[in-house]
Chain A
Amino acid sequence: MALISVSGLRKSYGPREILHGIDLRVEEGQIVGIVGPNGAGKTTTVECIGGLRRRDGGTVDVAGIDPADGDPALRRILGMQLQQCRLPAKITAAEALDLFGAFYPQPRPTGELLERFGLTAQRDRRFEQLSGGQQQRLSVALALIGRPRIAILDELTTGLDPAARRDIWTYLDRLTAEGTTILLVTHSMEEAQHLCDRVTIIDDGRVVAEGTPDALAQQGGDQLTSFVPDPTVPLDLLRDLPGVRTVTEEQGRVQVHGDAASPQTVLTTLIAHGITAGQLRVTGPSLDDAYLRATDPTPGSPTREARR
């Protein structure tokens, strides 16, 4: 049984439909990422799941609760960190945590969260005096203070330096190990690849791809095999191999795009012809490629065609 299940979610602002039927499932204990370009409807989707916006169609179920009902139980099990939500300027970091802690029956201790999010030195600093990254970390800490079963984090690590980002990732890994389920909205493929059990790519209000980061990456494209041949190789020899799609040569370096088996085939052929592959590099498809393919705005790309 999925902890969060969304099907056919539709939402319009005025006459413009933003979400055209989103499906999403999040199993207990998973981290699921929602990625997609600006304006794709990621934030609207999580706002409908979090009960901050009324949907116009479809069903949403969060741990047996329909967020549209306004059931107060939802607020006790769901922590949300939203984009562009600021705190009063003169509240200090520790006071903000104490204040939000008072809303829950068993909050995490303020000291633990300050330490975990690297804010111990800033505990008495006012919100207006915190750096952007510190405000962001405080905001994430506030979403987690009530020990939520589910955390929705929107643009979690935007504006954080790489070290702070790693720290937060480590903490989230620990949280999921303890059983917290996390729904993550992100722009960063690196973050999705690192953290997420499953990734849903949304573009233009529709789900365009869904799967584990590795599986998505595999769909994302070709293996790239590149090398400097010695002696030179006739390119047509490689072009005719099974599984090879394109072969190009640039400044002596040959690049072969092909399917998952293509690197093996290319190398075997080179060896059979007594050709050495110098400076050999084999690059697998990345989630970045999958993302770019799935959200490619050029007409004629496979996903656009399939949608029509």
Chain B
Amino acid sequence: MRATTALFTNELRLLGRTPAVVIWTVIIPLTALVVMCAIPAARQPQAPFGGVSVVEAYQPVLVVFAMTLLALQVMPMTLGQYRELGFLRRLRTTPASPRQLLTAVLLLAFAVTIAVGVLMGVYPLFFGLGSATRLAWLVAALVPCSAAFLAVGAMLAAVIPNSRVASGVGAALAAVMWFSAGMWFPRAQFPDWLARIADWTPGGAAATALSQALLGGPFSWQPLVCLLVWTAGCFVVALCTFRWE
């Protein structure tokens, strides 16, 4: 426990020393939301977005953006580098195991993605958007979203030995997730067949889960089931194939 805590603290400190990661995964998504909230027209309901405002339509997308950058690009890169440096191997020579480092890396990524998600839920409240009572729902939705993205990221780190390739594939997957979440094209405008596919990607399911948490309305289990399946499937693959050296 003491070792895991020390490893977690260390990862947190190292993350703080990597400004690029902090800027992309925390500052840019938050800034984008802040700017949107400041534009009055973006706060009005719009027909093309299925009767919600631009802010409400993009809030889940930005959460997905922040989460996927950290879980699909940064995390596989970090794990791959630790393997390439021989740091995982070095840990094997100590009473701490490389599993504890893996746990620390995943926990940190989990904590940061949840924190960013919560901040993004809280901020629009200052503009009279959303409702504070939905925050508990938001947290409940953020947990399976983050878990699913981290599982996909862990699988990438496991099956692709080269850290830069893993991170590159992660970037491509992240773009797919952003599309399914409706970044370039509102989800309300997706044709049926595309909507059905997007619903079963982690990105699409995450966006739906987050929307229904933030906006209320009819509740569906489908996105949660989808996220759970991705989480379980990818973690199993990751555990079976991860190489320490």
Residue of B nearest to A142 (CB): B90
Q: SS class of chain B's interface: helix, strand, loop or mixed?
A: helix
Query: Shortest beta-carbon distance, B94 to chain A, in Å?
Result: 5
Further contacts, 9 of them, CB under 8 A, given A52-B92, A88-B87: A75-B95, A76-B95, A80-B93, A82-B89, A86-B86, A86-B87, A88-B81, A88-B82, A146-B95
Q: B-facing mask of A83-104, CB < 8 A → 1, else 0?
A: 0111110110001001110111
Residue numbers in B under 8 Å from A50 (CB-CB): 93
Query: Shortest beta-carbon distance, A294 to chain B, in Å?
Result: 30
Within 8 A of B (CB), among A204-226: none
Residue of A nearest to B15 (CB): A90
Q: Is B132 an interface residue (CB 8 A)?
A: no
Residue numbers in B under 8 Å from A274 (CB-CB): none
Picked from B14, B81, B96, the residue with its CB within 8 Å of the CB of A103 is B96
Chain B positions near chain A (C-beta within 8 angstroms): 2-3, 5-7, 10, 13-14, 17-18, 81-82, 85-87, 89-90, 92-96
Query: Shortest beta-carbon distance, B27 to chain A, in Å?
Result: 19
Q: Is A300 an interface residue (CB 8 A)?
A: no
Chain A positions near chain B (C-beta within 8 angstroms): 50, 52, 72, 75-76, 78-80, 82, 84-88, 90-91, 95, 98-100, 102-104, 142-143, 146
State in angstroms the CA–CA spacing of A103 and B87 once bound together.
15
26 A-B contacts, Cβ less than 8 Å apart?
A: A52-B92, A75-B95, A78-B93, A79-B93, A82-B86, A82-B89, A82-B93, A84-B86, A85-B89, A86-B85, A87-B87, A88-B81, A88-B82, A88-B87, A90-B14, A90-B17, A91-B10, A91-B14, A95-B10, A99-B6, A99-B10, A100-B94, A103-B94, A104-B94, A143-B93, A146-B95
Q: A102-B3, A102-B6, A103-B3 are in contact. Are A87 and B85 (CB under 8 A)?
A: yes
State in angstroms the CA–CA spacing of A131 and B50 once bound together.
60
State in angstroms the CA–CA spacing of A85 and B85 once bound together.
6
State in angstroms the CA–CA spacing of A79 and B96 once bound together.
12
The 7 nearest A-B residue pairs measured at CB: A102-B6, A85-B86, A80-B93, A85-B90, A86-B85, A103-B96, A75-B95
Q: A102-B6, A146-B94 are in contact. Are A88 and B89 (CB under 8 A)?
A: no
Q: A87-B85, A88-B85, A103-B3 are in contact. Are A75 and B10 (CB under 8 A)?
A: no
State in angstroms the CA–CA spacing of A90 and B18 once bound together.
9
Q: Do the beta carbons of A75 and B18 come within 8 Å of each other?
A: no
State in angstroms the CA–CA spacing of A46 and B95 once bound together.
18
Query: Shortest beta-carbon distance, B204 to chain A, in Å?
Result: 35
Interface centre among B10, B17, B95 (most CB of A within 10 A): B95
Residue numbers in A under 8 Å from B85 (CB-CB): 85-88
Q: A95-B13, A102-B2, A146-B95 are in contact. Are A52 and B89 (CB under 8 A)?
A: yes
Q: A102-B3, A103-B3 are in contact. Are A88 and B93 (CB under 8 A)?
A: no
Residue numbers in B under 8 Å from A104 (CB-CB): 94-95
Residue of A nearest to B91 (CB): A103
Residue numbers in A under 8 Å from B89 (CB-CB): 52, 82, 85
Q: A88-B87, A95-B13 are in contact. Are A103 and B95 (CB under 8 A)?
A: yes
Query: Shortest beta-carbon distance, B6 to chain A, in Å?
Result: 4
State in angstroms the CA–CA spacing of A76 and B94 once bound together.
7
Query: Shortest beta-carbon distance, A94 to chain B, in Å?
Result: 12
Residue of A nearest to B18 (CB): A90
Query: Shortest beta-carbon distance, B157 to chain A, in Å?
Result: 15
Residue numbers in B under 8 Å from A84 (CB-CB): 86
Residue numbers in A under 8 Å from B92 (CB-CB): 52
Q: Do the beta carbons of A75 and B87 come within 8 Å of each other?
A: no
Picked from B2, B14, B95, the residue with its CB within 8 Å of the CB of A88 is B14
Interface centre among B2, B10, B13, B93 (most CB of A within 10 A): B93
